[in-house]
A and B are shown apart, each in its own frame.
Chain A
Amino acid sequence: MAVCTVYTAQSLNSSCSISTPSKSHLRFHQKQVIFFTKRSRNTRNHVITCSASDAEKTVVIGLAADSGCGKSTFMRRLTSVFGGAAEPPKGGNPDSNTLISDMTTVICLDDYHSLDRTGRKEKGVTALDPRANDFDLMYEQVKAIKDGVAVDKPIYNHVSGLLDPPEVIKPPKILVIEGLHPMYDERVRDLLDFSIYLDISNEVKFAWKIQRDMAERGHSLESIKASIEARKPDFDAYIDPQKQYADAVIEVLPTQLIPDDNEGKVLRVRLIMKEGVKNFNPVYLFDEGSTISWIPCGRKLTCSYPGIKFTYGPDTYFGNEVSVLEMDGQFDRLDELIYVESHLSNLSSKFYGEVTQQMLKHADFPGSNNGTGFFQTIVGLKIRDLYEQIVASRAGAPVTAAKA
């Protein structure tokens, strides 16, 4: 609710303005108040716009990952936690990268490319290079949305490689900015209420891209390898260092349960959670702060080769205190996940079995039988909890501010 009560024109505070809507206002959205005053016979419309009150400010989440590393699967799991499917904006550009659901809007940071495909080729820079991106515009627009103001965001067309005409993005309850550089620019980083980094090891990245591209005409094992190798220096210089700023990192590594496994089918996934982050309490296994190794396979959980192994414990990550939960191996029967879920604490679920239920809902998504899907779902619940805590604390604050 916007805290903006209007009685008479005199009592309006400075954050509100009255205008007659003769010219088009691009910035109107849910925070507009329209009232009518009848003067003799002609009716005049007045529009009062108020800057968003704290309680309605958008919560901003950043998700960083390389292309082809499962950002879209993560996004689908996240939006599903909030309920409702995410769809591209209706009636807009068919190649728009934006996804909108009731609660969340996901924007792809490729839309802030300052150089299009031809421009990058000419200058000899990759999309990973900061010089190919407009961080000033990214900052301005993310800040505007956070402050409750709609923006005209450009669209980078991944098919044509061109920058298309902009689309209007209205401030949602939760804004997710996903892409290569959500935490690169300090100003943008400071706008984030929570940040996640998907860290895919080189071995797994290679295996995933083979699965993705091998069937594609023109690609060979050599070309896939060459593409990863060519992008690696820029990736290491500009993308990878962002993980030190992330509140949660999901690391995907080859399994240690099978010696010399290179298939990338069985994965060891680590959820690294920063300690002391406001509104975020890390998940733990059995006993908070202890170091524990747990093999749940046995009478209560069916596991075939190579089984499942969980590890939990405190650690340091880039000089920060973190808690790390690790899962190596994969589930055979998804419904038995409830057994694992029942031994984890601080999941931020609303009812017993919610993680399992969310996983079963999307059993067809990649990673549903291993730690990638499991930890992504848990992070989704954590973000919902964070959002609810922020909204609750804001709802309390403006009342006292108004009375003061």
Chain B
Amino acid sequence: VPRVVPDKKLSDLVAESVKEAEEACAEDPVSGECKAAWDVVEETSAAASHARDRKKESDVLENYCKDNPETDECRTYDN
């Protein structure tokens, strides 16, 4: 099943959703449309922040060792 946003970066999505929300609220600032549009901003911002956290957590050596546990720099013996 093809995704709607295949490779579009999340930060583009956030910027886009903010723009959409500002437009939706320009017409009627208390409409359901405006409210829903800002809720989408919250959703995309949260997704972007979670993706950032995941990236930050990953360590280059740890990732390498997952695929290559037998190499010198990755071998660990319990005792």
Contacts and interface: CB of A to CB of B under 8 A. Distances in A.
A72 interface: yes
Contacts of A159: 3, 5, 10, 13, 47
Contact of A227 (B15, B21, B47): B21
Contact of A160 (B3, B15, B16): B3
Given A72-B50, A226-B25, A219 B45 contact: yes
Interface in B40-58: 40-43, 45-50
Contacts of A165: 1
Interface stretch (A14-22, A125-133, A332-340): A125-133
A230 interface: yes
Interface string B15-55: 11111011001000001111111111111011111100000
B35 A230 contact: yes
B61 interface: no
Contacts of B12: 217
B49 A121 contact: no
Interface string A203-232: 000000100110011110001001101110
A218 B16 contact: yes
A263 B37 CA distance: 28
A178 B47 CA distance: 16
Contact of A212 (B3, B15, B21, B49): B49
Interface in A144-160: 157-160
Given A124-B31, A213-B49, A68 B18 contact: no
A234 B32 CA distance: 11
B50 A123 contact: no
A231 B15 contact: no
B11 interface: yes
B30 to A, nearest CB: 9
Given A121-B40, A159-B5, A227-B21, A218 B46 contact: no
Contacts of A143: none
A171 to B, nearest CB: 27
B37 A121 contact: yes
A226 B21 contact: yes
Nearest to A229: B38
A316 interface: no
A103 to B, nearest CB: 22
B56 to A, nearest CB: 10
A173 B34 CA distance: 42
Given A68-B46, A158-B47, A219-B45, A120 B39 contact: yes
B39 A218 contact: no
Given A158-B43, A226-B25, A218 B35 contact: no
Contacts of B17: 218
A117 interface: yes
Contacts of A158: 43, 46-47, 50
A356 B41 CA distance: 38
B4 A160 contact: yes
Contacts of A72: 50
Contacts of A160: 3-5
B36 to A, nearest CB: 5
A142 B13 CA distance: 33
A161 B15 contact: no
Nearest to B17: A218
A306 interface: no
Contacts of B19: 218
Given A159-B5, A226-B25, A216 B43 contact: no
10 contacts: A117-B43, A158-B46, A159-B5, A160-B4, A160-B5, A162-B3, A217-B14, A226-B21, A230-B21, A231-B38
Interface of A: 67-68, 72, 117, 120-121, 123-128, 157-162, 164-165, 209, 212-213, 216-219, 223, 226-227, 229-231, 233-234
Given A216-B45, A217-B12, A218-B18, 5 more contacts: A125-B32, A159-B5, A209-B45, A219-B18, A223-B18
